[in-house]
Amino acid sequence: MQIPYTKKTLDNGLDVIVHEDHQLPMVAINLWYHVGSKNERPGRTGFAHLFEHLMFEGSAHHDSGYFEPLQRAGALLNGSTNTDRTNYWEVVPTGALDLAMWMESDRMGHLLPALTEEKFTNQRDVVLNERRQNYENRPYGLAGVALSAALFPPDHPYHWITIGDPDDLRAATLEDVRRFFETYYHPGNASLTLAGDIETARALDLAEEYFGEIPRGPVVPPVSIARPEMAGASLLLEDRVELPRLYLSWHSPAMFEDGDAALDLAADVLAHGKTSRLYKQLVYERRVATDVSAYQHSREMSGVFQVACTAAAGVALPVLEQAVTEALAALAAEGPTSDELERSEVQIEAQFVYRLQTVGGFGGKSDQLNAYNVFRKDPGYFDQDLARYRAVTPSQMADAVRQRIVGAPRVALSLVPRGQRQLALPDASEVLVS
């Protein structure tokens, strides 16, 4: 699983990682800023995601849309934001590498001179509309908002979703977002990977040429907050949906912590594929659910383990809650079978391989090198990461489920069609989300 690479840190603090892959005449440029919604604060949320939009609106020396010149040169490009990081990537023909590097460096070093009140207001409205489309007007879209708010206290960086609170966005000023950019979007808080049809020496020279003169920027202090405690809750949310859905969520280990890999595998045993325990029982045999999922969502500061089930027509959510509770108790008591553990480990290893099929994009080699560099300070962490999963034993999985899930407080969310509260868990309290 090792991907050959060279790493150099420029004088201004920018980490530069190079991976040579000459199979195709293409180069992937992948840039991570170690900033996400966890770096925001109550009353000032949504800034990291807002900058994902603003960074495509032009900079001082190219005060126009970012997509057109690169796509004209044959590039693919995109960006994304989550709680812990923001990334931007381009995959370009080798001959367009200088263009992509120049444009990427210009928006890192010279975005603010081109950031006008008009651009800011326009993109804020775009984000507010995106929130309406993806959360407020999408079936089950508000579940994540309700769960994040219930799982984490108001002062915790995971209390709000990445897109931010609409009132916070409306209250934001151009000066607010300028200060946010100056704090986080600079070489000292970034990691740049070049992967593909380029020689290492030339790649490092290009990084120095285009990024070397950009000032380092201020030191970004790590976000520090006590591990959250939760008493548990049962919530009710009515929405414009056809079928009720039950969400059960627990605090879980952070990224790379003890128990993280074991719970990742446990989620696979429970609900990945048609032979998984919950799918086989609820969807195939009893036909009380139309779908079921489980995942261990590990992040830098804290994780969330979640099971979600959509009920079949006419089925009340207590039926699903009982089945999930029994399945978790059985896994905590007995652990997985050897066949289940082997299947889950093979699935995890396959996912590692799938992510490395391309040099660029989301999850390609360049993205993975950056991820390990930002979160582990080691771009070559592939084998160590995979070894965490290979080392999990049945008893370790059982212990993780027993200690972190079965014996821990949870948030249960009953999301039901409007006017059908009788389908929810009996102890659920109504929650208002907007």
Instruction: Check which CATH number belongs to the domain holding 284 and give it.
Output: 3.30.830.10
In whole angstroms, give the CA distance from residue 211 to residue 192. 10
pLDDT surpasses 80 at 1: no
Query: Residue 227's pLDDT is what?
Result: 80
Residues 285 and 192 placed together within one structural domain of the fold: no
Classify residue 421: in a domain, yes or no: yes
Mean pLDDT of the chain: 96
| Residue percentage of the chain with pLDDT more than 70 | 100
Residues 279 and 183 placed together within one structural domain of the fold: no
Overall average pLDDT of the 219-244 stretch: 91
End-to-end CA distance of the chain: 44
Query: Residue 318's pLDDT is what?
Result: 98
8 A C-beta contact, residue 282 and residue 293: no
Which whole-number Å values give the CA distances from 273 to 184, 265, 267, 412, in the listed order? Answer: 40, 13, 11, 23
Residues 314 and 257 placed together within one structural domain of the fold: yes
DSSP single-letter state for residue 59: B
Classify residue 218: in a domain, yes or no: no
Classify residue 223: in a domain, yes or no: no
Taking the model in full, what pTM does it have?
0.95
Assign 433 a pLDDT band (cuts: 50, 70, 90). Answer: confident
Residues 187 and 238 placed together within one structural domain of the fold: no
Assign 162 a pLDDT band (cuts: 50, 70, 90). Answer: very high
Residues 61 and 148 placed together within one structural domain of the fold: yes
CA angle (321 as vertex; 316, 433 as ends), nearest 5: 75
Number of domains in the chain: 2
In whole angstroms, give the CA distance from residue 102 to residue 246. 48
pLDDT surpasses 90 at 342: yes
Residue 304 has φ and ψ, to the nearest 5°, of: -135, 125
pLDDT surpasses 80 at 57: yes
Query: Residue 283's pLDDT is what?
Result: 97
Structural domain of 178: 6-211
Give the containing element (helix H, strand E) for 320: helix 317-334
Classify residue 221: in a domain, yes or no: no
Residues 261 and 383 placed together within one structural domain of the fold: yes
Classify residue 91: in a domain, yes or no: yes
Residues 31 and 80 placed together within one structural domain of the fold: yes
Within 8 A by CB and 6+ apart from 7, the residues are: 15, 16, 17, 18, 373, 379
Residues 237 and 362 placed together within one structural domain of the fold: yes
8 A C-beta contact, residue 44 and residue 94: no
Residues 259 and 377 placed together within one structural domain of the fold: yes
Assign 183 a pLDDT band (cuts: 50, 70, 90). Answer: very high
pLDDT surpasses 90 at 85: yes
Nearest to 408 by CA among 340, 345, 332: 332
Residues 204 and 239 placed together within one structural domain of the fold: no
Residues 205 and 352 placed together within one structural domain of the fold: no
Assign 246 a pLDDT band (cuts: 50, 70, 90). Answer: very high
Residues 88 and 38 placed together within one structural domain of the fold: yes
